[in-house]
Structure 1
Amino acid sequence: MLPRFSTLLWLEELQAERELREFSISGALLRKGAGYLHLEVPGLSEGRPSLFIGDKVVLKKPCSGGLVVEYIGYVTEISEEDVSLRVNTELLNSYLGEPLDVEFTYNRLPMKRCHCALEQTKHFRENVLFPRYLQLQSPLWTGDWEPELSPKQDENKTTQEDEEGREKPCENREKPSSLTMDMVSVATQTKTDLCTVAKPIPDPGKFFNCNLNPAQKEAVKRILSGECRPTPYVLFGPPGTGKTITLIEAILQVYYRVPGSRVLVCTPSNSAADLVCIRLHESGYLQAASLARVNATCRIEESVPEVLRQYCHAGEDVRHASFHRIVVSTCSSAGMFYQIGLGVGHFTHVFLDEAGQATEPESLIPLGLVCEKTGQIVLAGDPKQLGPVVKSKLAEAFGLGVSLLERLMATPLYSCTEKGYNPLLVTKLVYNYRSHEVLLELPSRLFYGGELCVRSQRAVVDSLCHWSRLPTKGFPLIFHGVRGTEMREGTNPSWFNPGEAVQAMLYCCQLAKRLYNPIPATDIGIITPYKKQVEKIRVLLHRAGLADIKVGSVEEFQGQEFLVIILSTVRSNEALPSNDLQSALGFLSNPKRFNVAITRPKALLIIIGNPHVLIKDPCFHALLQYTYENGAFLGCDPPVSLRAADRAASKAKENTY
């Protein structure tokens, strides 16, 4: 494992450096500011190049005699397509606006942490990373849980939840008793805080969030028991099933019921880590001294939600942060604990949320801090959605794009059998709190064995069922066929489709500018796989006064939800053969990307594309058939195969009478 992943990481790093060199700027004119030089970087807002606070930039100044003087600048602020650079005093004072050559450099720190984590795997037992059998341990908590509600009672109770399964005030809840626990950490022998918290703590055996559904409760019980440790436990959370809220409950249960527990919660991105921290804060069961949010040193304070800054101050000193009972960080930032010499086993529990979006070496960074014999590892995510972003095609082909979560769930121990998943290792959440049943039916059938059940708020998901533009009332899904033209500009490799861009803009106007109950622009999202199409649509929306509508790639929408989603597929070359899906559809031929795109909306999904091209892909073929059979297909003429299938179905129906 170590040599293989080490090689893949080097391939990824080489590709990242190669891509950055392509964005070098010759003869750039910088602006002098108060203590900084300001550089305009075209395409920066679209991630071309991808820069972060703290990145190093090389500025080259040609001198007489063919000599070139190099200066080093560091990115201190990023605003749209403008970058502020901290440079030495000599350059700042002497710069008179002359042209400089600019080269962007790759920040190796995250990769170095991945390499370090791979070294740590030498200490891991085989049943952590490559489990073939399950050896049960004695439970960490052996108390009795409150009696479960009957299915009828549970059905009534879940109406109190919102679309994400977040807790609403429960009626007739028993008044919980206060709980003061004198817990001593095994790792550092420091006592937990004995002050009271904002809410009274429920008695042992009761849930902090009384609105959890049976599958969520089962997952919490399994995590608290920890019988499978150190073999990872998987919380399989399809879209909108309340995965994060289940983790919050599990973290609170471990915090209050397991003496000496010390919890590390990691995610691949800052936004996901912030969300976990916000949910812990909103629970009302923790005080500030119990929780630390550890950020990378280069993260600017303005990008941190204000409500979290009290926890971030506790995380500024990494050594001090490590003494908190609950620590939240990104996977990469967890590498800072190695730098202060934190020993293996300091954390008793590691929760890895959005585990499907992290590369395996990235996941190993936090896992290396848990005890390899008795530590509890929880991986939460969805292997059916997008995996980690990998730049190197070679590294991706040899497995760097496969997350630890996805690899484990493909093994016999974690696979779904006729009896379902092994309940000791996997809990699959099946109640969807986000989408209308019409929008959920197809992804449930294609990716989740038809098991997803609707538990969403009817007032929200039914809000557009009678929109005047719907071809079939009560069926909030539209496929709008556009036999447009896919185009490129100059040498730019990104595609765009003017016809689809205009149609997307028209739908936005019809929704956001209608006289009766207009949809707020912030409730509409437009997904399109190509950056040039994103740019074209943004220009049109800006001219229409709808600049607040979010437009971006599938990757930018993963983990998010909107009332309305419009998907512009762009590709429209009907001449390409059916057996060359990659050339005909590009990004669209990825089932995971398809799954993410169609599971973002709550109340309305509109797909704009060329059905004669899209029908070549199995997922889009199923979507086209679904919309056509339900009278939700409009625009251009449908493909012959759809019409033929419809005629065959009609004939079969006639023969039954």
Structure 2
Amino acid sequence: ARMAAMRHRRRRRGAFPLLPALLLALPIIRDGGPPALASAFVTRPGAGPPPLRGGEGAVLGGGAGASSLSSSSSSSSSSSSSEGSVVADADAFAVASPPPSSAAPPFENRAHSYAAHWEDLLTIEHRELADDLRSRRSNWSRRKLESTGISILGGSAEPETELFGEKVLRVTRQGGYGGSSSPSIKDLFSRGDVLVLSPDDNRRRGDAFLPRECTVMDAGIDWLTLGVGSTWPRGLWEERRRPGSYRVRLDRSAPKAPLLAQRKSLQMVRSGKAGEAAALLADTFRYGKGRRNGAEAEDGRGKEEKKEEAEASLPPRRFKNGVLVGREVHTDFEEGILAAVARAKGSTKKFLPNRSQEEAIAWGLGRRLSLIRGPPGTGKTRVAALLIASALHLRPAPGGASGEDDAPPKPSRVLAVAHSNGAADVLLEALLALGVPAVRAGRPATVSPSARKRTVTAMAETHPEVLQLRRRSQNATLPSHVRSAARADAYRIVGEVRRVIEANAPVVVASCVGAHQLLSAEGTDHSFPLVVLDEAAQTTEPALLTALAAAGAEQVAMVGDTKQLPPTVASSAADLRAELGRSPMARLEDAGVGRRTLCVQYRMPPSLLEHPSRYFYDGLVSCASADDDGGEPPPPRGFPWPKGHLPLAFVRVGDGGGEVAHDFGGRSNPSEAEAVCNIVAGLLEGGDVDPFKVAVISPYSKQVDRIRAGLQSLGVSAGSRGAASAAAGKVRVGTVDSFQGQETDVVIFSGVRSNPEGQVGFLRDPRRLCVAITRARRGLVLVGDDRSLRTSRHWAALIESCRRRGCCLDADDLLPRNDERGLTVAEEGDVRAKRAATMELLQLDGDVDNFDWLFE
């Protein structure tokens, strides 16, 4: 197919023959060379050969169609326009690379290689995800598709509402596929998930209702609300009076919009139009790629790290003439930064930074590229917000030493981004709390309800003139042509208001990929000199480049923690996960770029902070909540804390064979689930903790489902206590990954893994462990098989820390809920059930507890 396409283009465009290069590449393709060798180049008549990428695994690349892989695959390859054709853009050919050179290539070639590298990885990941979802839909049963959250089949749709011009419909799942233990829809889908809506009724397949992508806005036990765009699916509005008649199905998809946005941004990097910050990332990417061996490699790496840090530490170019803070010009750059931070602190009394936070903010504002590491509980997002507030007070001083330019300086603008819409909403709330005039880019359907009023779309739709035109367009007493003209005028004004807001707002908040919409089709300049990335350790490099290209930034500040979870990658290929799953912050840290660490945390008491600080952060993090005498508040009642005053426990459950592998994938541990439910019941009956502030986390979703079912059934028997039964449904249960960035009073962790071989899978990842043990404010209970978990050195260190402090106990040592009778939860339930039956037989009315004297 590649050769035929090449011959066809040569005949059409007169390109010089490339058969020798193709013949060199065929053995590489046949033998399954590295993914980088599957990159592409485009040769135009008269353009000459493309530039070369130096280094090992080099690529000849270029042009807009540089990827050699289509976004999806299919068995049909006869048509280039068909879905998943073998070659989406047949300009792509893999070719052999020249021998690696010790000299760094010119920047144009480095930028080209850098962009081609990420473009290949993104395309491969998207193709694998699309193929995987297609395979599941073809081969899995209906029950398996629904129980794993891949599809919702046989749902009924009806109009729900309209949100700032976007139609919102509700899909209700009909019937069920399992018992009470089956996960609810809200456990399988979350806000922002992209699904494909299509008809699930054969009678409708001839209609014009075509599949369309939609976005999850909210979820309940058996329903979803979805944003479906500016129009209703065909026939939905007409059938709204017949509930249940409009049958649809929903399927997870591999959305193409993020892929296209990132590829377009990479093309801007390749052409040098993405701004200085993106160019700096491309320029530093060459470092850390080994070109030498032994001592020579160490010496070369040291020189490269020094050079990279020197480039990153340069002050932003826009401040070459000095800094204007208010009306005062500061020729000393550092002095001007301190003045700006002081102004930002003075404008808000809600957040007064500690010394390490203030130093990190000033340090980050003075560099082209800065990394601020924030361990759990140190206030990363608030630091990012105050950094942005300080940056708004920094403006370039007008003119130079000769005063040749007296034009007033442009107002400072900042693009604030995060890896996801949820994280962007949290950042927006932090900015608004400091009084920063920030607006939110993105569809209102993808934004949290509390942030929707600050979206650009909502602000445009609620403009007084737009509201007046909307009312006019709905006035039935007016002629139809007048109403139509009013609708057209409203649509036009909404677009104009949006453009004005996006072009002039001091701070725009968006997800990294969502920032791409700031690039208008007309090429209007939406320049933001500074980009601030929150939760930087969870962001992929192409996503960050999308934000940098949209901003045209010359300066970027990353705030995050590389000791916590990395970016999520859909592919299962180890090499692709290692590359795409490595955040730019982690890469730059390894390459020698300087960083500052926030050293004071406000979440955990000293006993819970001791091990994470020492093991993960070299003892740099201290506790701000400790009493002057080093004490801490007592732990919550209702659990037998082994050390009494220390809110830490490791409960040993299992003997090397407790885990269960499920047919649909995943693992669970019934013994641990029972122990967790007993612990939750005891804490709730202790009455010292709000059930909404108790969280149960586990690395495996099957264990999450098992624990949810156990908590739901807690107290269903006649012997249950009403208070604990009602409160158990308020306890949050989820995976470790879903709790990153959150905190709560009490955390109960279930490790699941318990097998004779001591295999613990991805529990060996220290970042997942760091997240798991740093969520709690008042108490942490770890439940697991210590013999299996100790095979991981990270877990072994944690268990040894608990043992050394006397915080370990066995599951049998858990104190019963009723100390007088010495019964376990299950035993007490049986006793209470028997007593209730006896009271009924004796025709005694009242609470079972009031008749303890009788039964004793």
- TM-score, reference length from structure 2: 0.59
SS at match of 2:392: helix
**Over aligned residue pairs, what C-alpha RMSD do you find?**
3.8
Q: How far does residue 291 in structure 1 lie from its aligned partner after superposition?
A: 2.0
Query: Counterpart in 2 of 1:475?
Result: 646
Listed as ranges, the gaps of 5+ residues in structure 1 are 145-178, 184-200, 415-424, 579-583, 639-657
Within 2, Cα distance between the matches of 1:315 and 1:340? 19
Q: Does 1:497 align with 2:610?
A: no
Q: How far does residue 130 in structure 1 lie from its aligned partner after superposition?
A: 4.0
Within 2, Cα distance between the matches of 1:91 and 1:282? 41
Q: How far does residue 537 in structure 1 lie from its aligned partner after superposition?
A: 1.2
Farther-moved stretch of structure 1 (9-18 vs 495-504): 9-18
Does the 8 Å contact 1:265/1:327 carry over to 2?
A: yes
Change (3 A) 1:432 1:182: closer
Structure 2 residue identity aligned to 1:242 = G
SS at match of 2:760: helix
Within 1, Cα distance between the matches of 2:251 and 2:386? 47
Query: Counterpart in 2 of 1:535?
Result: 705
* Equivalent in 253, 265, 268 of residue 105 of structure 1: 253
Within 1, Cα distance between the matches of 2:661 and 2:792? 26
Q: Does 1:392 align with 2:571?
A: yes
Within 2, Cα distance between the matches of 1:598 and 1:637? 23
Matches within 5 A, 1:42-441: 45=185, 48=188, 52=192, 55-59=195-199, 61-62=201-202, 71-73=210-212, 75=214, 78-80=218-220, 81-83=222-224, 88-90=233-235, 103-122=251-270, 123=272, 127-131=280-284, 132=304, 133=307, 134-135=310-311, 137=314, 140=319, 203=343, 211-224=352-365, 226=366, 228-229=367-368, 232-258=369-395, 260-284=411-435, 286=436, 290-296=437-443, 298-299=445-446, 303-305=448-450, 309=454, 313-314=458-459, 317=498, 320-341=501-522, 346-371=527-552, 375-394=554-573, 396-411=576-591, 413-414=592-593, 425-441=594-610
Q: How far does residue 268 in structure 1 lie from its aligned partner after superposition?
A: 1.0
Within 2, Cα distance between the matches of 1:334 and 1:622? 42
Does the 8 Å contact 2:667/2:702 carry over to 1?
A: yes
Q: How far does residue 476 in structure 1 lie from its aligned partner after superposition?
A: 1.5
Query: Counterpart in 2 of 1:188?
Result: none
Structure 2 residue identity aligned to 1:600 = R
User: Relative contact order (alpha carbons < 8 A, sep ≥ 6): 1 or 2 greater?
Assistant: 1
Farther-moved stretch of structure 1 (480-489 vs 133-142): 133-142
Within 1, Cα distance between the matches of 2:540 and 2:806? 42
Q: Does 1:510 align with 2:682?
A: yes
Q: How far does residue 295 in structure 1 lie from its aligned partner after superposition?
A: 2.3
Structure 1 residue identity aligned to 2:672 = E
Q: How far does residue 117 in structure 1 lie from its aligned partner after superposition?
A: 1.9
Query: Counterpart in 1 of 2:7?
Result: none
Change (3 A) 1:205 1:468: closer
Change (3 A) 1:249 1:92: closer
Change (3 A) 1:93 1:379: same
Give 1 or 2 for the bigger CA radius of gyration.
Answer: 2
Matches within 5 A, 1:433-582: 433-456=602-625, 458=627, 462-464=633-635, 469-483=640-654, 486-488=658-660, 491-515=663-687, 518-542=688-712, 543=714, 544-545=725-726, 546-573=728-755, 575-576=756-757, 578=758
Does the 8 Å contact 1:60/1:100 carry over to 2?
A: yes
Change (3 A) 1:103 1:436: closer
Within 2, Cα distance between the matches of 1:3 and 1:379? 24
Q: Does 1:4 align with 2:121?
A: no
Q: How far does residue 445 in structure 1 lie from its aligned partner after superposition?
A: 1.8
Farther-moved stretch of structure 1 (540-549 vs 305-314): 305-314
Q: Does 1:33 align with 2:158?
A: yes
Within 1, Cα distance between the matches of 2:760 and 2:245? 46
Q: How far does residue 61 in structure 1 lie from its aligned partner after superposition?
A: 4.6
SS at match of 1:327: strand
Does the 8 Å contact 1:29/1:99 carry over to 2?
A: yes
Change (3 A) 1:40 1:12: farther
Does the 8 Å contact 2:357/2:598 carry over to 1?
A: yes
Structure 1 residue identity aligned to 2:130 = E
Change (3 A) 1:115 1:73: closer
SS at match of 1:128: helix
Within 1, Cα distance between the matches of 2:452 and 2:441? 14
Within 1, Cα distance between the matches of 2:344 and 2:803? 53
Change (3 A) 1:56 1:204: closer
Change (3 A) 1:382 1:251: same
Structure 2 residue identity aligned to 1:354 = E
Listed as ranges, the gaps of 5+ residues in structure 2 are 1-113, 143-151, 161-168, 178-182, 285-303, 330-340, 397-410, 462-497, 715-724, 814-856
Does the 8 Å contact 1:443/1:599 carry over to 2?
A: yes
Q: How far does residue 569 in structure 1 lie from its aligned partner after superposition?
A: 0.6
Within 2, Cα distance between the matches of 1:12 and 1:481? 40
Within 2, Cα distance between the matches of 1:213 and 1:599? 21
Within 2, Cα distance between the matches of 1:262 and 1:46? 38
Percent sequence identity is: 25
Within 2, Cα distance between the matches of 1:623 and 1:137? 41
Within 2, Cα distance between the matches of 1:264 and 1:98? 42
Query: Counterpart in 2 of 1:589?
Result: 764
- From the two aligned structures, give the one with the greater helix fraction: 2
Farther-moved stretch of structure 1 (523-532 vs 70-79): 70-79
Change (3 A) 1:496 1:447: same
Within 2, Cα distance between the matches of 1:47 and 1:121? 39
Q: How far does residue 541 in structure 1 lie from its aligned partner after superposition?
A: 2.0
Structure 2 residue identity aligned to 1:534 = V
* Equivalent in 607, 627, 646 of residue 802 of structure 2: 627
Number of residue pairs matched by the alignment: 555
Change (3 A) 1:128 1:88: closer
Structure 1 residue identity aligned to 2:199 = L
Structure 2 residue identity aligned to 1:282 = A
Farther-moved stretch of structure 1 (394-403 vs 203-212): 203-212
SS at match of 1:450: coil
